[in-house]
């Protein structure tokens, strides 16, 4: 199960129209950055157009940012002036991460982990754990089972649906806790209601550290 073609097409069209999906730093990135020590190593999984990754770099950290869309990564390289502090890579998060053990002080995954079946999702969390340093931090946010889009579209699996090729695996707080069990201690877990990219949305936001 993959949405690689969906995201490549979406980013390419929007970049060509000079209207990238997002040109703003998220409040999630601002709040997460406050928890970091000076010059931390950061992995941004599913960086999209790269504005959160660039914020971490401007804040003095060394950033590696990945995305499944080659068009998005090309846009990031052209757009962000903090290139010396960021390495941009095209990578499918469902594949093993191409990094050594205990490489990063933070793995940051905002709205980028809710596209895979349960088995793949759990493998991704194992990989995140492997690449985090001792006591390294994890932040992730995923669409909630209370989101307005939950239950709509083609059923692909438990809590997983596809609408016009856009796959979403919706997470409950209980599911988030099960993903972190024996891997991460959770400092905070909450459901956030608001707008994402102009549409009403509910997502689960989790912050914790490697066990």
pLDDT tens by residue, 94-119: 999 999 999 999 999 999 999 999 99
Question: How many domains is the chain partitioned into structurally?
Answer: 1
Asked if residue 14 is part of any domain, the answer here is yes
91/97 Cα distance (integer angstroms): 8
pLDDT at 21 over 60: no
Q: Is the pLDDT of residue 177 over 70?
A: yes
pLDDT of res. 71: 93
* 206 within some domain: yes
Examine residue 90 and state whether it is found in any structural domain, yes or no: yes
Task: Out of 3-12, 159-168, 172-181, pick the least confident.
Answer: 3-12
DSSP 100-118: -TT-EEEEEEES-STTS-H
In a domain, 139, yes or no: yes
pLDDT for the residue 22? 61
The answer to whether 207 and 138 are in contact (CB under 8 A) is yes
Cβ–Cβ under 8 Å, residues 140 and 109: yes
In the Cβ-directed half-sphere of 80, how many Cα atoms lie within 13 Å?
A: 30
CATH number at residue 104: 3.40.50.150
For residue 195, count CB atoms less than 10 angstroms from its CB and return exposed for 0-12, middle for 13-18, buried for 19 or more: exposed
- Whether residue 150 is contained in a domain is answered as no
What DSSP designation does 144 have? B
Q: Which two tokens stand for residue 66?
A: 């990945």
> Is 113 part of a structural domain of the chain?
yes
Among the ranges given (50-64, 69-83, 105-119), the one the predictor scored with the smallest mean pLDDT = 69-83
In a domain, 159, yes or no: no
Rounded to an integer, what distance in angstroms lies between the CA atom of residue 38 and that of residue 196? 30
163 located within any domain: no
Percent of the chain with pLDDT over 70: 96
> How many CB atoms lie under 10 A from the CB of residue 117?
16
Per-chain mean pLDDT for the chain: 93
Containing structural domain, residue 36: 4-19+26-145+172-210
Mean pLDDT lowest among 56-65, 75-84, 155-164:
75-84
SS3 134: strand
Q: What is the pLDDT of residue 1?
A: 47
Interhelix angle 173-180/118-131, nearest 10 degrees: 50
Which of 150, 155, 156, 142 has the alpha carbon at shortest distance from 196?
142
So what's the pLDDT on residue 47?
Answer: 96
């Amino acid at each position: 199960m993959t949405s690689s073609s969906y995201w490549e097409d979406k980013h390419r069209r929007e970049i060509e129209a000079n209207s990238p999906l997002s040109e703003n730093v998220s409040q999630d990135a601002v709040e997460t950055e406050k928890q970091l020590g000076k010059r931390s190593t950061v992995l941004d999984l599913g960086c999209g157009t790269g504005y959160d990754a660039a914020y971490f770099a401007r804040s003095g950290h060394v950033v590696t940012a990945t995305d499944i869309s080659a068009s998005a990564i090309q846009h990031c390289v052209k757009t962000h002036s903090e290139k010396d502090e960021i390495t941009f890579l095209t990578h499918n998060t469902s594949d093993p991460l191409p990094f050594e053990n205990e490489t990063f002080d933070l793995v940051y995954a905002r709205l980028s982990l809710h596209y895979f079946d349960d088995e793949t999702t759990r493998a991704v969390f194992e990989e995140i754990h492997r690449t985090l340093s001792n006591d390294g931090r994890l932040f992730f946010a995923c669409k909630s089972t209370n989101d307005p889009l939950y239950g709509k579209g083609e059923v692909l699996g438990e809590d997983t649906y596809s609408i016009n090729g856009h796959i979403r695996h919706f997470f409950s707080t209980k599911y988030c806790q099960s993903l972190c069990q024996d891997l991460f201690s959770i400092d905070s877990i909450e459901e956030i209601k608001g707008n994402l990219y102009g549409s009403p949305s509910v997502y689960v936001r989790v912050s914790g550290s490697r066990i």
